[in-house]
A and B are shown apart, each in its own frame.
Chain A
């Protein structure tokens, strides 16, 4: 992945100066990659341009009638920047007590108002990204620990749920997380949490995001193994050297392990962010796209999907897609720009 961060343009070679051998090599190479070039043009470049053009038109079906297509310039973008369903900021409210029969009972609860769809995605990311990096990393550190017996078995078992179809997994976790009877709330109550305070998970605007993160926790196997492979590549001499210097486990983690596996973390981070902005299949399956509770799972992409297929506004859907593209582009560029500061590359030689 790092060649993206580290890329340097080579001096261009003009076609005229190429030797016949080099020309043949070029012909053959292009021939071999032609399936991708064709697919790239047909399924990526042309549709992208089309999406951009759609966003300047008004292709939509209202009351069953297709409007005459017209060029509307930036109208769709103006609508988007005023669209509450995208931008509505969530409000947090904390209550500490609950009144039962005139008696104040201590029962802390955080409530949130349903946010607009862009914020839905961002708030979900605030939970999903750290979990998606830290949990696999911790597991990989465990799997790499010499004191763990049966490392291969553990590795396989932690990886295993990754291959389970997500449709099956979300219903499974949905049952586990049922506020009234799910095993998680039963366990919390066994641990002494009063029933009035247990999270209402998928029924609560505030808790629904952690709920979805938990529903996705079975997908961490891949990231775990990638991190594990990264850890196994760290030369043992470095640890030995750190030990000689008297470094604690924590110090050697930050001084040796972290820098050495930072490219792998970076790779996972990028993939997680891209996945985050595309996230909507789980809410689509769990709630059939209704956005329950109270529209709090109306993820940006779900809103886009509904705008296109349900509200039948193709142009506005395209506008949403274009803005999404710009947001992802912006975030990725920022990440690659900061990567130099914290991602360490052993061999800068490519």
Chain B
């Protein structure tokens, strides 16, 4: 026994010494696509690097950029930057979208926020209101030429905090659709120009609005026996294809497509208001999921692996989906499975007859606590400059600099040769959501969280009284706004 004890202790001590003395071989090459950018040893054992490089951390997760296909290219962009000079070491940190807010908050609370955050839209910007660095001084100091962008785009990045970003990319929205599924159902394709009508199989013309989307969506929703949602004997428990999906659209975004923004949710005294458009949008979605003739996937269905684990359109099992240009980042699986998509224009709100689009404008931000603003700004200039070619393609982002746009569209056409026209989505630029559905609200984080809870409830429980739930939301928001 005594001998064994000494063996145990000797082993532990040896292991500890081994751990303390050598650590992993510093030459260990990081795998090409590994998640943690492993260039550092554990802090306890780290020897001083030969030349002191400034480390700049680039945090990805608040918007696009977390898809496996994108991570690979972002790693390349980082490697290119690091190879281009020897003073700065750029490190990429990718965090899952759902965890990004928590992680960034923790880092900021620890006083260890990242130097650069992005791509991030207005939602992400507003969640961390007050944390962004005003770039004006750096722009003046370095003489950075902002006239290369349209002035309106530069001014768009000015908030109460100052010039918090440089224009990088815009993401107009469109209705994506799968022509093969329309063919199978014998339906005409949706219009590709704003103002055009939709032609039903019998030749009648209908305005291209959400009611029409619902009408053809039902015909495009199919059960395991091949029956569509309007047919007798349709089994809603065995849906194999849905007509429509709001792809990656949160409850607030859905409201945006019907014409209301965040600013419409409260008045000057911070009383909560539920705008009519929100009620219209939510009633439409709730009826689409749980009504007598469903055409939208419910929570369990869209979460299932067969339906893409949430990414329903990508699984090829949704005939239509309204989403943004950034969605073209990651349709690799869709394409590999032999599916093809086309673009149509956004439908109008049937109540006012007007189209309400949404335009995301993403860019990079600098955390105001960054210890190395100059170096971080250098990286920022690189990201919105030389790196645009690569990043815009993977993010599916229409570059803000007009001269970059042709190259972007060419690369997208090469990526998806079957798309006949990109015009419908570019035309979406004219339908920005003002006020933005990702705009500021009092106590935004909690308020957004509460609204998302309603969205989630609508997805997962068809037995709720939606009107009562919306009223409950209003009461809760009233408390949250005044907290």
Contacts and interface: CB of A to CB of B under 8 A. Distances in A.
Q: CB atoms of A and B under 8 A apart anywhere in the complex?
A: yes
Interface of A: 61-65, 79, 84, 93, 95, 99-101, 109, 111, 113-114, 175, 178-181, 194-196, 200, 203-205, 287-295, 306, 308-312
B445 A203 contact: no
A220 to B, nearest CB: 27
Interface in B449-471: 449-450, 452-454, 456-457, 459-461, 463-464
A200 B460 CA distance: 9
Most chain A CB inside 10 Å of its own CB: which residue of B109, B300, B483? B300
B232 interface: yes
Contact of B301 (A100, A180, A306, A310): A180
B249 to A, nearest CB: 16
B109 A294 contact: no
Interface in B423-461: 443, 445-446, 449-450, 452-454, 456-457, 459-461
A308 B304 CA distance: 33
B232 A181 contact: no
A181 B101 CA distance: 31
Given A65-B130, A181-B306, A288-B99, A311 B453 contact: no
B47 to A, nearest CB: 30
A84 B457 contact: no
A295 B456 contact: yes
Interface in B31-87: none
B105 A310 contact: yes
A174 B463 CA distance: 24
Nearest to B475: A84
Contacts of A178: 303-305
16 contacts: A62-B443, A111-B463, A178-B305, A180-B300, A181-B304, A203-B460, A204-B460, A205-B457, A287-B98, A288-B102, A294-B453, A294-B460, A295-B450, A308-B109, A309-B105, A311-B445
A293 B479 CA distance: 22
A339 to B, nearest CB: 38
B211 interface: no
Interface of B: 96, 98-99, 101-102, 105-106, 109, 128-131, 232-238, 292, 298-301, 303-307, 443, 445-446, 449-450, 452-454, 456-457, 459-461, 463-464, 476, 479, 483
A63 B130 contact: yes
Given A63-B130, A203-B300, A310-B445, A293 B98 contact: no
Contacts of A62: 443
Nearest to A112: B461
A114 B445 contact: no
A290 B457 contact: no
Given A292-B456, A309-B106, A204 B130 contact: no
Contacts of A65: 130
A288 B103 CA distance: 10
Nearest to A94: B463
A175 B106 CA distance: 29
A211 to B, nearest CB: 12
B237 A195 contact: yes
A288 B96 contact: yes
Contacts of B233: 101
Contacts of A179: 300, 303-304
A131 to B, nearest CB: 24
A114 B299 CA distance: 16
Contact of B476 (A84, A200, A205, A292): A84
Contacts of B301: 180
Nearest to A182: B304
Given A288-B99, A293-B299, 16 more contacts: A61-B109, A84-B479, A101-B292, A178-B304, A180-B300, A181-B305, A203-B460, A204-B461, A205-B457, A289-B99, A291-B449, A291-B453, A293-B461, A294-B454, A309-B102, A309-B106
B272 to A, nearest CB: 13
Which 9 residue pairs are nearest across A and B when measured between Cβ atoms?
A64-B130, A288-B98, A180-B304, A294-B457, A179-B300, A295-B453, A288-B99, A195-B237, A203-B300
A309 B99 CA distance: 12
Contact of B109 (A95, A196, A312): A312
Contacts of B129: 63-64
A280 to B, nearest CB: 12
Q: Which of A62, A306, A309 has the most CB of B within 10 A?
A: A309
Contacts of A295: 449-450, 453, 456
A289 B306 contact: no
A293 to B, nearest CB: 5
A344 to B, nearest CB: 36
Contact of A114 (B99, B237, B453): B453
A203 B303 contact: yes
Contacts of B105: 309-310, 312
Contacts of B449: 290-291, 295
B359 to A, nearest CB: 25
Interface centre among B304, B306, B460 (most CB of A within 10 A): B460
Contacts of B96: 288
Given A63-B129, A310-B445, A200 B102 contact: no
